[in-house]
Amino acid sequence: MPLPIAVLVSGSGSNLQSIIDKIEAGVLDAEIRVVVSNNEDAYGLERARKHGLPWAVADHRGYHAREAYDAEMVRILRDHGAGAVVLAGFMRMLTPVLLEAFPGRVLNIHPALLPSFPGTHGARDACDYAVRISGCSVHFVDEKMDNGPLVIQAAVPVAPDDDQKSLAARILRFEHRIYPQAIQWLAQGRLSVDGRTVHVAEAGAAPAEVECDHPFIVNPLLEAGF
Ligand code: GRF
């Protein structure tokens, strides 16, 4: 049975699109039960509508506490039968109310090599710092920002003439590969967490043939289709 997921977005939703595309291509064994946004203008909602996916808006304004907002979010997610939660550019911190409703089942993607450059501007901050290598990270979510155990990371080089926009765009290309891969591992029941260490059980899957105009490193390796 496909993993029933909810995808939470606040903006463009290009990561949501990569998840939709991998599901439609038959390589990601998940079903998007609902796309939820705190922002009714998020383009991610339009993507959901285009693909005939259920969607909902949960506007965080008007909630006196984060916990009350998360309780409403849990209600929406449960109503749609979600079994895991995928944060895809969702610009809100989660409380134990949501995390304890989906223990070990909440993933996030961040546009930097954590623990470097956590926060809302990972790609921009890495560019401003003039690092030589940046990247992206998929991690389990806990109560601290961009903090939980790492599932997969891709290292992406910074070109001498990069600006924030060009670097963010290059990183995003790898987000679109590692996030569906991490979700597929979750769907396959291959992830286990031991302290900070995430183990990915072997499945004998073929490694991906990865083509790219820049050198990069992905760890663990991508599998075919990602
Ligand atoms: C991505 O860079 C993601 O890493 C970060 O927010 C951005 C969302 O982009 N958490 P999109 O909405 O998926 O295009």
pLDDT 10s digits, 1-55:
999 999 999 999 999 999 999 999 999 999 999 999 999 999 999 999 999 999 9
Distance CA 30, CA 33 (A): 9
206 — pLDDT class (breaks 50, 70, 90)? confident
Atom of ligand 1 nearest to the CA of 87: 10
Query: Ligand 1, from 17, 39, 107, 175: best to mutate by most atoms within 8 Å of Cβ?
Result: 175
Residue nearest to atom 1 of ligand 1 (CA): 89
Q: How confident is the model at residue 161 (pLDDT cuts 50, 70, 90)?
A: very high
How many other C-beta atoms are found inside a 10 Å radius of the C-beta of residue 26?
A: 8
pLDDT in tens, 99-155: 999 999 999 999 999 999 999 999 999 999 999 999 999 999 999 999 999 999 999
Distance 88 CA to ligand 1 centre (A): 6
Atom from ligand 1 closest to the CA of residue 9:
12
How confident is the model at residue 216, as a pLDDT?
81
Indicate if the pLDDT at residue 209 is higher than 80: no
* Ligand 1 binding pocket, CB closer than 6 Å: 9, 11-15, 88-89, 109-111, 172, 175
Q: How many angstroms separate the alpha carbon of residue 111 from the centre of ligand 1? A: 7
d(CA 212, CA 197): 28
What is the position in ligand 1's atom list of the atom closest to the CA of 88? 13
Is the pLDDT at 211 greater than 90? The verdict is: no
| Ligand 1 midpoint to CA 194 (Å) | 27
Instruction: Calculate how far, in angstroms, residue 177's C-alpha sits from the geometric centre of ligand 1.
Output: 13
pLDDT bucket at 203, cuts 50 / 70 / 90: confident
The predicted pLDDT at position 213 comes to 61
Q: Give the per-residue pLDDT at 62.
A: 86
Residues noted as catalytic? 110
Average pLDDT, the chain: 95
Q: What is the pTM of this model?
A: 0.95
- One-character DSSP codes across the chain: --EEEEEEESS--HHHHHHHHHHHTT-S-EEEEEEEES-TT-HHHHHHHHTT--EEE---TT-SSHHHHHHHHHHHHHHTT-SEEEESS--S---HHHHTTSTT-EEEEESS-TTSS-STTHHHHHHHHT-SEEEEEEEE--SSTT-S-EEEEEEEEPPTT--HHHHHHHHHHHHHHHHHHHHHHHHTT-EEEETTEEEE----PPBP----SS--EEESPPBTT-
